[in-house]
Amino acid sequence: MNDDSGVWRTVVRVGVVLGILASMIAILGFLRSQDTATTSSASQPTQPSGQSTQNTSQTVTPLPTASETTATATSAPSAPGTVLYQANWSSGMNGWTGTAQWNVLNGMLVSNGSGGYDFPDATPPYQPTVANYAVEARIQIVNIGCCTAGFGLYARAITMDSGSDGYIGGVDNISAQRPFSGIADIHTGGDAPCCSNVLGSVNYTPDTGWHVYRLEVKGNHIAFLIDGHTVTQATDNQFLSSGAVGIECWNGLQIAVSSFKVIAL
């Protein structure tokens, strides 16, 4: 009887131990499941109130390719103030064309005064693709052989073989006596005001110093500026497309041009 009771006690003790172990395993399993659920919920984005949790995938827009980016940049219009073209005469004419009166000296474009009224233009290797722009040049009068000589900047030109029939802003009727008084004007249709339609003019004495001359065309508004100041302006509907640009110098006038730019407006 004593042996049976001892065996029974042993069985009871083993059962108790096994029960404790089972309880501990169950508790550990529960705790692990709680940690997993917490981690999973934390990794999910919180849905706004009232919205469904379905269809949470987002559409990702691919970045444009290099060719698409280049095409967009090329087709974008030039911002006002952008320099569209700037002359460089450091190594010669560099693509500029003109009659024998035009040469390059010390990095500047110069006229020797041998040109008459025919073919007096100096043309850059550039033609604007926009209609609104300014042609700007720094010019000095060197000498003059005739009191009806002049020079100018042209814009929106159409005919390039015998002068411009676009807009010309410049200095005309320059006297042969220093300080070279004359008129500043805007005209169309020919090399000099006597052969063209004068749209606006004012008395002006350019002297022998360097001055910055600027012809602006924007829509049907034309303005001629000297050293940053508007001296004459006009409204005209004849030439509205981009056309060509360049410099004119006629009838024995000698000038030097140290810079030439085309600037978007």
- Tens of pLDDT, residue by residue, the chain (265 residues): 455 556 556 655 666 667 676 667 766 666 666 555 454 444 444 444 444 434 444 444 444 443 333 333 334 568 999 999 999 999 999 999 988 889 999 999 999 988 766 545 899 999 999 999 999 999 999 988 776 788 999 999 986 554 457 999 999 888 877 777 889 999 986 545 555 689 999 999 888 899 999 999 999 999 999 999 999 999 999 999 999 999 988 888 999 999 999 999 9
Contact at 8 Å (CB) between 224 and 169?
yes
Q: Which residue has the tokens 């934390």?
A: 42
Measured in residues, the chain has a length of 265
CA-CA distances (angstroms) from residue 183 to 151, 170, 241?
A: 11, 8, 27
Q: Where are the domains of the chain?
A: 1-30, 79-264
CA-CA distances (angstroms) from residue 50 to 41, 53, 109, 132, 233?
A: 18, 10, 75, 55, 65
Task: Determine the topology of domain 79-264 in CATH.
Answer: Jelly Rolls (2.60.120)
